[in-house]
Amino acid sequence: MAQETVKQEWLEAESGIKKVGCGRTYEYPINVRNTHASKRKFSISISESFTQRDEAVEWSFSLESSKTIEFVASPKEKKSIDETFEVDGDSAKRLLFSVLTPRGGFNGDQCVLNFEVESEDKMNSSKVNLTLILAPVIVAIKTTVGNEFQVSVDLSNRSQKDKEERNLPADVPQEVISLMSSKDLKGYVFLETMHPDRVAMIAKGIRGYKGLVEGVMDFSEIVHYLTPKPAVSGLDLGALVEIISGPFKGEKAKIMSIDQGKEEVTVQLIESMVPIPLTLRAEALKILEQK
C-alpha cells in the first residue's frame, strides 16, 4: 500500500505507507472542516506503535493545533495525544503533525501512527493509519574536481573500517551502502546511506572531500547518470581534436568520419605531410574546436 490522501467532506489527511530517512523531519497536515453553520468542538487522538531493532531509539513528534504539543516515544515508552479544538461554522482548521525520525534507526524500523478524529456531537468520526518505514537516502558529496573516484574509494574504505571498529553485526550494512561517481558530473559523488550525519563524520580528513550537500535526493534525479553517454557524443565532422593516448599522443587532428556503432573516429593529422587517415577510439580524442 502506497501513501495516499484520505479525502472526506469534513476531513483530509495522509494515510498508508511511507519510506523515510533517518534524522529527517516530515510534516503531515490534517484538515478538519466544520460543515455546520455553528461552531463545533472536535477531538484528535494520536497513538503509536513500533517495530524496530533497538527499542531504546526514540522518535520525536509534535502537534500544532490551538497549542503546540511535543513528545518523544519509543517501544520502551509509548505516549499518546488527546487534544480538543474548536472549528467555526462553515470553516476549516489545519492541524500540523510533525515527525522527526531517529538518527540512530536501522533499515526497516517502523512506526505506525493511529489518528482518530471525532466531533463532540459524534456526527463525524474517522480513523487514519500512517506507517513510516526507515530506509536509506541518497545524498550528494562535494569533492574537488578530478578527485571524485578517489574520494569514493577512500570513503568506502573508511566506512568499512568504521563498521569493524564499532563491532556491528554482520547483517547491519556499513554507513556507506553504495556510491556512484559519474564522469559526466564533475565535483560531486552520490551516496546511499542510512545516516548522513555519520557519513559526514567518517569523511572528515579525506583528501578532496569538501562536504555533504544539504538535503536528500530522489532516485529519479540521478537515474540519467546511470546510462553513460556514447564516447562519440559531442564530436562532429570537421572538428579539431587532440589525440590524448597511443603513439600519436599530443598530435592535433581533424575529424573526417564517425562510426557511431563502433564508437570509432577517423581523423587526419593536421601537421602530417602525407594525409594518412587514422581510425581511433573516441576515448583517445579530446575536443579542441568544433567546426
Instruction: Specify the CATH number of the domain 137-225.
Output: 3.30.70.940
Distance CA 53, CA 105 (A): 8
CATH topology of domain 4-134: Immunoglobulin-like (2.60.40)
Question: Mean per-residue pLDDT for 264-274?
Answer: 88
259 alpha-carbon distance from chain centroid:
38
CB-side neighbour CA atoms (13 Å) of 164 = 6
Distance, in Å, from the CA atom of 129 to the CA atom of 26, rounded to the nearest integer, reads: 16
Tell me the average pLDDT across 258-286: 88
Binning pLDDT at 50, 70 and 90, where does residue 3 land? low
- The pLDDT assigned to 290 comes to 65
Each residue's pLDDT tens digit, 66-101: 889 999 999 999 998 999 999 999 999 999 999 999
Mean pLDDT of the chain: 91
pLDDT above 80 (res 56):
yes
HSE-CB of 219 using CA atoms within 13 angstroms: 5
Question: DSSP secondary structure string, 209-234?
Answer: EEEEPSS-B-GGGTGGGGSPPPTTTT
- Centre a 10 Å sphere on the Cβ of residue 3 and count the other Cβ atoms it contains: 14
Beta pairing, strands 11-20 & 125-134:
parallel
Position 211 pLDDT exceeds 80:
yes
Reading the block at residue 127, the C-alpha cell is 480513523
223-227 long-range contacts, Cβ below 8 Å, gap at least 24?
Answer: 225/180, 225/182, 225/184, 225/185, 225/190, 226/180
- pLDDT computed for residue 88 by the predictor: 96
Please give the model's pTM, rounded to 2 decimal places: 0.74
Cα 161 to Cα 228: distance, rounded to the nearest angstrom: 31
- Delimit the domains of the chain by residue range: 4-134, 137-225, 240-289
Whole-angstrom distance, CA of residue 135 vs CA of residue 66 = 33
Question: Do the Cβ atoms of 38 and 89 come closer than 8 Å?
Answer: yes
pLDDT tens digits, residue range 126-178?
999 999 999 999 999 999 999 999 999 999 999 999 999 999 888 888 999 99
Which triple of cell numbers denotes residue 210?
A: 569538501
Give the per-residue pLDDT at 179: 94
Pick the CATH number of 240-289 from 2.30.30.30, 1.10.20.140, 3.40.50.2000, 1.20.1260.10: 2.30.30.30
The whole-number average pLDDT for the span 208-229 is 83
Determine the Cα–Cα distance for residues 124 and 87; give it in Å rounded to an integer.
Answer: 13
Distance CA 273, CA 262 (A): 28
Helices 196-203 & 148-166 angle (0-180, nearest 10):
110
